[in-house]
Amino acid sequence: MKKKEKFVKIFNLSVSSVLLNFVNKELLPGTNVSKKQFWKGFSDAVHYLAPKNKKLLEIREKIQKSIDSFHLERKSKSFNFIEYKRFLKKIDYIKNVGPNFKIQTKNVDKEISSICGPQLVCPVSNARFLLNAANARWVSLYDSLYGSNIIPETKGAVKGKTYNPIRGKKVIEYTRELLDRYIPLKNRSWKNLDIVPNIINGKLNIELKNKKQLTGFKKKNNKLSSLLFKNNNLHIDILFDHNEQLEINNPEGNQDPLKIHDVILESAISTICDHEDSVAAVDAEDKVVGYRNWLLLMKGSLSSKFSKKGKIINRKLNPDRKYQSFNNEKIKLHGRSLLLNRNVGHLMTNHAILLKDGSECPEGILDAFITSTACLHDFKRKGNSRVNSIYIVKPKMHGPEECEFTNLIFSKVERVLKLKPNQILCGIMDEERRTSVNLKECIRILKKRVFFINTGFLDRTGDEIHTSMETGPMVLKGDMKSTKWINAYENNNVDIGLICGFSGKAQIGKGMWAMPDLLKEMMSQKISHPQSGANCAWVPSPTAASLHALHYHEVDVFALHEKIRKRKSADLDHLITIPVIHDPKWSKQIIERELKNNCQGILGYVVRWIDQSVGCSKVPDINGIGLMEDRATCRISSQLIANWLHHGVCSKKQVLEIMKKMAKIVDYQNLKDSSMKGQDPYQPMAVHFEKSVAFKAACDLVFHGKYQPSGYTEPLLHFNRLIKKSVRL
């Protein structure tokens, strides 16, 4: 059985010995912050902040009950939008909008202020993934194209197990077209260039259409090995190799007459190291895994050993990249993504620390103190932020009051750690309904800290369903993207960001591409994000980052901002239009298909969360297509079924039967999935439904979804994961 957790009394706190030892022996040494300073400061702060945290959650519940009552009292009447909007203002759900202002954030790294590009989100609990994400600042375009479905496997261009020169030729041709588009030559094309590029007498022997794009170069054995270019403030590094045999797995040698070995793209400009939706951390043991990984990132010493193709690989953080300018000066470019830390929101507590009254510590407050302290190590080496700023992305805030509370938390941390005021910068996740309709006022509260706003369609949809649960049945999940509120939501995020002075100072972000294997489809669709005015958008992998980076070569986002400023602002009325369908005419087949699809996603995600402690993974859908699933996707699926159950679209018996059918399919998919063959063997849900903690948790999310705070999945997932951990041998 799992050993009973030990707690140590210190400054009115009961702290898990696992967490206490980590803080005292790993986190604090080298920071000039003493144990007394940290623990007394934390205790004073958390005992001051926790009651305020609790009060804010009570306000959430009070507002939700008021909205429920409003809809229930008018159940027999036709919906009156004007009355509804007036009501939301009366209960202070919609705030009065103040005068225009500009954010005053200072000391922002250029990755945030002046470089537009992809952003990765990575679970902080997985060291190997973190290293891959951090190192994805520079990614091989050749490898990305070769391994993706962008290059069709036709006419002999199959991927195969060894290098295929036919496919390699297709990659080279595709890349040549990109070079012509983004770093064009004068009076000629990269496609038919017959001169091997070289530096002769300090000059490049081929002429660019825009000479300013040529930034630097490298030489090896007096031969050109690298040419560095810049387009839309993103670098392109063309690598040359004059050897006939490049790699063991390339028996054809360098098949490129220009001797181009690879093209390296500056790709994931920033990475969110996530303690929230993509992790399954329920106790001190879990939290310390994530905290330690973040600490080692800040120290620059994180590493991960793993086996690949029979070889042991020790992955570390990449060094900076060095070049020579044409003025004979040294150029040094940052070798890694700028690392941001996403703390948890205000809802969850964790028994890693108990307060003097025996209550659990609010997890978001704990995250703020630990992750900020870890950044003190980076201040000495400047391996991440070169301006000594701390970047914390704060999710799931509901309205300006909760933004004010976040501001207060960060102020307390700054005082304890003796940081400068506003040295901790804040990213606002614009994902909850009350935040999105009051975004300007949320930003106003954090105007001296804000470095980022980002839309979150899935969480915003989950909150939409839960907030308006009593209105009626919601539209099909696939139809959500064609509702009135979604376009207003996406546009409003950009409109407000520009009004508040984000352009050239802070990030305006967009959401995730959820199908990591369908990158051809991503290339045709995700260009809409930079075209919308977003200077960053989420991608699921380094490969996707390198390909999405091409969109930022295509679109000059900062130039586009000038045009967007002139358009009509998003309509608030559309933003609060409820996606309800009062008299659905769905057939039994449509209803069953929707239930199967959502039950499949819930079960596929939850069984990994509960049994394997995996908070984010590529889960096969009902058609076998891998989808990135996290708590946000689980929230929308569970809330939709809960809504349909509440309004009689389906029955509990029907949903339970479908849950059992889909559990068998999920079991079959997972038993075939090599990634599920970890330390613990996979335990099928369908063998004994009544004994499967994961199956019970998935059902609870649906059958008790209406009563979950804001429709969040965390409380039930944490509860059942702790049960699973307690009985594990």
**pLDDT of the residue at 241:** 86
**pLDDT of the residue at 73:** 97
Determine the average pLDDT of the residues in 507-528: 96
C-beta of residue 596 within 8 angstroms of C-beta of residue 622? yes
Catalytic residue (one of 283, 630, 667, 700) = 630
The DSSP code for 134 is: H
Cα–Cα distance between 99 and 104 in angstroms, integer? 15
Listed residue (112, 122, 131, 178) closest to 150, CA to CA = 178
Give per-residue pLDDT as tens, 11-61. 999 999 999 999 999 999 999 999 999 999 999 999 999 999 999 999 999
Determine the average pLDDT of the residues in 628-644: 96
Mean pLDDT of the chain: 95
Helix (H) or strand (E) holding 364: helix 363-381
The neighbouring-strand residues paired with 424 are 390
The DSSP code for 249 is: T
**pLDDT of the residue at 257:** 87
Catalytic residue (one of 315, 336, 342, 460) = 342
Give domain limits for the chain. Answer: 139-266, 588-727
**pLDDT of the residue at 677:** 60
Collapsed DSSP state (helix, strand, coil) of residue 533: coil
Token representation of residue 336: 């890694």
Listed residue (400, 467, 133) closest to 274, CA to CA = 133
Q: Would you list the DSSP string of 188-228?
A: S-GGG--S---EETTEESS-BSSGGGEEEEEEETTEEEEEE
Residues whose CB falls within 8 Å of the CB of residue 233, separated by 6 or more in sequence, listed in order: 114, 115, 116
Helix (H) or strand (E) holding 239: strand 234-240
Residues whose CB falls within 8 Å of the CB of residue 698, separated by 6 or more in sequence, listed in order: 599, 602, 603, 606, 607, 659, 663
Cα–Cα distance between 585 and 68 in angstroms, integer? 25
342 is an active site residue: yes
User: What b-and-e string marks burial along 198-226, b requiring 16 or more CB atoms within 10 Å of the CB?
Assistant: bbeeeebebeeeeeeebbbbbeeeeebbb
Q: Would you list the DSSP string of 459-505?
A: HHHHHHHHHTTTT-PBPPGGGGGGSHHHHHHHHHHHHHHHHTT-TTT
Query: 679: pLDDT confidence band, cut at 50, 70 and 90?
Result: low
> To 5 degrees, how large is the angle CA 288–CA 356–CA 3?
40
Token representation of residue 86: 């007036």
Higher pLDDT residue, 652 or 727? 652
Determine the average pLDDT of the residues in 70-93: 96
673 is an active site residue: no
Q: Would you list the DSSP string of 155-193?
A: TT----SS--HHHHHHHHHHHHHHHHHHSPBSSS-GGG-
Q: Flag whether pLDDT at 2 surpasses 70.
A: no
Give per-residue pLDDT as tens, 573-599. 999 999 999 889 999 999 999 999 999
Cα–Cα distance between 78 and 354 in angstroms, integer? 49
Determine the average pLDDT of the residues in 634-655: 98
Listed residue (95, 91, 112, 6) closest to 504, CA to CA = 112
What is the phi/psi pair of residue 43, to 5°?
Answer: -60, -45
**pLDDT of the residue at 3:** 58
Token representation of residue 15: 């702290």
- 584 C-beta neighbours (distance < 10 Å), count: 16
What is the phi/psi pair of residue 175, to 5°?
Answer: -70, -40
**pLDDT of the residue at 620:** 84
C-beta of residue 304 within 8 angstroms of C-beta of residue 128? yes
Query: 1: pLDDT confidence band, cut at 50, 70 and 90?
Result: very low
How, if at all, do strands 199-200 and 270-274 pair? Answer: unpaired
**pLDDT of the residue at 308:** 79
**pLDDT of the residue at 617:** 82
C-beta of residue 460 within 8 angstroms of C-beta of residue 480? no
**pLDDT of the residue at 626:** 87
Q: Flag whether pLDDT at 5 surpasses 80.
A: no
How, if at all, do strands 390-394 and 349-354 pair? Answer: unpaired
**pLDDT of the residue at 337:** 98
Q: State the fold for domain 139-266.
A: Malate synthase G - maily-beta sub-domain (2.170.170)
Listed residue (145, 140, 133) closest to 523, CA to CA = 145
C-alpha R_g of the chain? 26
Cα–Cα distance between 279 and 348 in angstroms, integer? 14
Is domain 588-727 annotated with CATH 2.40.160.50? Answer: no
Q: Give percent helix, percent strand, percent coil of the chain, each to the nearest 5.
A: 45, 20, 35
C-beta of residue 240 within 8 angstroms of C-beta of residue 226? yes
251-255, 485-489, 638-642, 715-719: which has the minimum mean pLDDT? Answer: 251-255
Give per-residue pLDDT as tens, 189-199. 999 999 999 99
Q: Flag whether pLDDT at 676 surpasses 90.
A: no
Q: Flag whether pLDDT at 618 surpasses 90.
A: no
Query: 247: pLDDT confidence band, cut at 50, 70 and 90?
Result: very low
Cα–Cα distance between 457 and 48 in angstroms, integer? 34
Determine the average pLDDT of the residues in 223-237: 97
Determine the average pLDDT of the residues in 70-87: 96
Helix (H) or strand (E) holding 715: helix 714-727
Q: Flag whether pLDDT at 729 surpasses 50.
A: no
**pLDDT of the residue at 7:** 96
- 678 C-beta neighbours (distance < 10 Å), count: 11
Cα–Cα distance between 9 and 43 in angstroms, integer? 11
pTM, 2 dp: 0.96
Q: Flag whether pLDDT at 432 surpasses 90.
A: yes
Give per-residue pLDDT as tens, 503-516. 999 999 999 999 99
Q: Flag whether pLDDT at 309 surpasses 80.
A: no
Listed residue (716, 690, 689, 692) closest to 702, CA to CA = 716
Determine the average pLDDT of the residues in 285-314: 93
Determine the average pLDDT of the residues in 335-351: 98
